[in-house]
């Protein structure tokens, strides 16, 4: 080779081998998915609800301040395991086969963690799982059995089951931070699903927050004493009311020496160590004595239950909030914030006394909606909000797009990436489909499906053939079923047609349907 040609060859070769600079390398972001169980948006102060002032969530709110708050995030099916199956697969319940909590997740299905793992990610799942089958698609997993325990919980890993000493929300966070620090030298991006048990029933507070809200009186929802006047059988026959269903002993901790030894004892009190029990009793013994002296009845008893419920539920959320703060601090202190998308959401919403209820399942707003906040500094603009209809169906495609992994055709959501960056596409969806299947079951909520737009919601309790229609602008608390109101005839016809079309779009087959 002549010297000049050799020189040229050398220059060209070294150019092509030159390492790319930071900006040239498309970097797959880390994804941290923080998922709570039954966390009502009404209990996050960033949503500015009636509880915001008395029970602030400063750390969860940091995510909204750093990024985006979605005001209309919904779920496909407002119940735990089916919601989780929709998140993992990006499909509706009739496609992933997980319609009720009694089903077992088919772990051979394609899920976003599997695809991320195949495409360069370290993936982990830590906390509540609830899908019965062994987790698939994770390099590392540590899960609570079934619903898990608040105190000294059992933790299952691929190799064994151990009892973790302490309070579940702290433990799930400790394990997550451990895993993150171990991942840091792997050279791979991470995708961590950090899934809390809290604030699931029975709302057991941590030792440090036992006294937190004891001196406060929380504002009641305006419809705490809803009489369901314009609604059908389902709202009237549910079994999830503060009045009839919420139990003084097992839910509200009015324990006698006798029931401390029964099932309540095994699940809660029986799991505590001596010092945890002493702290617990020091808080609850005076509450029990005060309750017994009052001899409350009727509406006064419901009001008292509501206050106890809020004190316990919101205190479990304070532990979640403290631990979200620990995680955000960890990301900041370890230089991980800039390249990490943090998502905060819940498997569904929850009633905090609205309609006189707790629990979820119905397509009414409090349980159909779920909180959704995200941060990704430098990518998601700071402090923006979004009012478009988004769904737990959308996570899988969102994460895949950010990781530059093509989404399979089977997935039925849509990537939220443009909305997160503040650019909602013109053709973003105007309607969402909902379907709840778990009946007969605990809380007795009848099967129903429905469609919502940003303004109107149509629900069909198809086994009863009963319909409900709401105008969410005129009636945000959904107190007035306008299905039979002549003024809404054209809306009713349009929404019924829309339900038919959206079912066709998603390939839904319902055994008994009357249109």
Where along the sequence are the contacts to ligand SGN (CB under 6 A)?
37-38, 79-80, 101, 130, 147, 200-202, 359, 442-443
Partner whose footprint covers residue 252, from Ca ion, ligand SGN, none (CB < 5 to 8 Å by kind): none
Partner whose footprint covers residue 502, from ligand SGN, Ca ion, none (CB < 5 to 8 Å by kind): none
Q: Is 43 in the site for Ca ion (CB under 5 A)?
A: no
CB of 247 to ligand SGN, least distance (A): 8
Task: Return the bridge partners of 343, or none.
Answer: 33, 374
**Cβ closer to ligand SGN: 40 or 79?**
79
CB of 104 to ligand SGN, least distance (A): 14
What is the rounded distance in angstroms from the CA atom of residue 499 to the CA atom of residue 468?
A: 13
CB of 80 to Ca ion, least distance (A): 4
Region of 372 (left: φ > 0; alpha: ψ -120 to 50; beta: rest) is: beta
Region of 140 (left: φ > 0; alpha: ψ -120 to 50; beta: rest) is: beta
CB of 39 to ligand SGN, least distance (A): 10
Residue among 35, 285, 267 nearest 152 (CA): 267
Enclosing H/E stretch for 144: strand 140-144
**Cβ closer to ligand SGN: 148 or 189?**
148
**Cβ closer to ligand SGN: 61 or 366?**
366
CB of 346 to Ca ion, least distance (A): 7
Query: Site residues for Ca ion, window 246-275 (CB under 5 A)?
Result: none
Among 251, 312, 322, 347, binds Ca ion (CB under 5 A): 347
CB of 262 to ligand SGN, least distance (A): 13
CB of 248 to ligand SGN, least distance (A): 14
**Cβ closer to Ca ion: 114 or 200?**
200
Task: Return the bridge partners of 143, or none.
Answer: 127, 156
Partner whose footprint covers residue 224, from ligand SGN, Ca ion, none (CB < 5 to 8 Å by kind): none
The residue range among 37-45, 69-77, 99-107, 329-337 that interacts with Ca ion, by the rule CB under 5 A, is 37-45
Partner whose footprint covers residue 359, from Ca ion, ligand SGN, none (CB < 5 to 8 Å by kind): ligand SGN
Locate 182 and state its tokens: 């171990």
Decide: helix, strand or coil at residue 135.
Answer: coil
What is the Cα gyration radius of the chain? 25
Partner whose footprint covers residue 201, from ligand SGN, Ca ion, none (CB < 5 to 8 Å by kind): ligand SGN
Question: What single-letter DSSP state applies at residue 208?
Answer: G
What is the rounded distance in angstroms from the CA atom of residue 434 to the CA atom of residue 92?
A: 9
Among 30, 37, 362, 415, binds Ca ion (CB under 5 A): 37
Residue among 358, 375, 416 nearest 392 (CA): 416
- 42, 103, 178, 282 from 211: Cα distances, Å: 22, 39, 30, 10
Q: Of all residues in this chain, which one has the CB nearest to Ca ion in the complex? A: 80
Partner whose footprint covers residue 202, from Ca ion, ligand SGN, none (CB < 5 to 8 Å by kind): ligand SGN
Phi and psi angles of residue 460, each rounded to the nearest 5 degrees, phi first: -125, 115
Question: What single-letter DSSP state applies at residue 145?
Answer: S
Please say whether the beta carbons of 460 and 103 come within 8 A: no
Q: Is 38 in the site for Ca ion (CB under 5 A)?
A: yes
CB of 38 to Ca ion, least distance (A): 4
The residue range among 29-37, 280-288, 289-297, 422-430 that interacts with Ca ion, by the rule CB under 5 A, is 29-37
Q: Is 80 in the site for Ca ion (CB under 5 A)?
A: yes
**Cβ closer to Ca ion: 193 or 328?**
193
**Cβ closer to ligand SGN: 94 or 201?**
201
What is the rounded distance in angstroms from the CA atom of residue 305 to the CA atom of residue 380?
A: 41
Q: Of all residues in this chain, which one has the CB nearest to ligand SGN in the complex? A: 80
**Cβ closer to Ca ion: 84 or 140?**
84
DSSP E strand stretches across 427-472: 432-436, 448-452, 456-461, 466-471
**Cβ closer to Ca ion: 81 or 235?**
81
Partner whose footprint covers residue 175, from ligand SGN, Ca ion, none (CB < 5 to 8 Å by kind): none
CB of 136 to Ca ion, least distance (A): 21
CB of 214 to Ca ion, least distance (A): 26
CB of 399 to Ca ion, least distance (A): 21
Residue among 338, 339, 375 nearest 34 (CA): 375
What end-to-end distance do the CA atoms of the chain give, in Å? 82
Locate 339 and state its tokens: 């390249």
DSSP secondary structure of 160-201: -EEEPPSBHHHHHHHHHHHHHHHHTTSSS-EEEEEE--TT-T
Point out which residues bind Ca ion (CB under 5 A).
Answer: 37-38, 80, 347
């Amino acid at each position: 080779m002549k010297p000049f040609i050799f020189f040229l060859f050398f220059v060209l070769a070294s150019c092509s081998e030159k390492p790319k600079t930071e900006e040239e390398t498309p970097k797959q972001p880390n994804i941290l998915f923080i998922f709570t169980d039954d966390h009502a948006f009404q209990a996050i102060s960033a949503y500015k609800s009636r509880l915001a002032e008395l029970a602030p969530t400063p750390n969860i709110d940091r995510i909204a301040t750093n990024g985006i708050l979605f005001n209309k995030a919904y779920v496909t099916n407002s119940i735990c395991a089916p919601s989780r199956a929709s998140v993992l697969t990006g499909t509706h319940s009739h496609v992933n086969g997980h319609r009720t909590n009694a089903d077992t997740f088919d772990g051979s299905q394609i899920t976003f963690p599997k695809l991320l793992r195949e495409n360069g990610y370290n993936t982990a799942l830590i906390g509540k799982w609830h899908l019965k089958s062994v987790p698939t698609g994770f390099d590392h997993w540590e899960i609570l059995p079934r619903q898990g325990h608040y105190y000294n919980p059992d933790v299952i890993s691929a190799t064994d089951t151990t009892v973790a000493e302490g309070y579940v929300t702290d433990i799930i966070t400790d394990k997550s931070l451990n895993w993150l620090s171990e991942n840091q030298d792997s050279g791979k991006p991470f995708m961590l699903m950090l899934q809390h048990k809290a604030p699931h029933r029975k709302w057991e507070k941590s030792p440090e927050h036992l006294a937190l809200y004891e001196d406060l009186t929380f504002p009641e929802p305006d419809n705490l004493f809803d009489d369901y006047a314009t609604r059908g059988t389902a709202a009237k026959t549910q079994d999830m009311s503060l009045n009839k269903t919420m139990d003084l002993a097992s839910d509200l901790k009015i324990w006698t020496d006798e029931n401390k030894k029964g099932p309540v004892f095994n699940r809660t009190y029986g799991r505590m160590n001596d010092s945890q029990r002493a702290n617990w009793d020091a808080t609850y013994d005076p509450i029990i004595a005060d309750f017994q002296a009052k001899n409350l009845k009727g509406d006064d008893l419901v009001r008292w239950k509501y206050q106890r419920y809020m004190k316990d539920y919101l205190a479990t959320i304070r532990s979640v909030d403290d631990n979200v703060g620990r995680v955000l601090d960890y990301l900041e202190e370890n230089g991980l914030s800039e390249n990490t998308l943090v998502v905060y959401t819940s498997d569904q919403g929850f009633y905090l006394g609205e309609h006189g209820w707790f629990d979820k399942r119905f397509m009414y707003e409090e349980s159909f909606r779920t909180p959704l906040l995200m941060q990704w500094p430098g990518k998601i603009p700071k402090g923006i909000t979004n009012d478009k209809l988004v769904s737990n169906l959308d996570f899988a495609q969102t994460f895949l797009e950010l990781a530059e992994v093509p989404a399979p055709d089977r997935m039925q959501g849509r990537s939220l990436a443009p909305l997160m960056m503040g650019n909602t596409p013109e053709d973003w969806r105007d309607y969402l489909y909902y379907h709840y299947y778990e009946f007969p079951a605990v809380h007795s909520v009848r099967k129903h499906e429905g469609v919502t737009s940003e303004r109107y919601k149509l629900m069909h309790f198809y086994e009863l053939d009963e319909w409900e229609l709401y105008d969410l602008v005129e009636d945000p608390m959904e107190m007035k079923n306008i299905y039979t109101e002549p003024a809404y005839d054209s809306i009713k016809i349009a929404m019924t047609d829309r339900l038919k079309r959206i079912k066709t779009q998603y390939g839904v087959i319902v055994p008994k349907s009357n249109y």
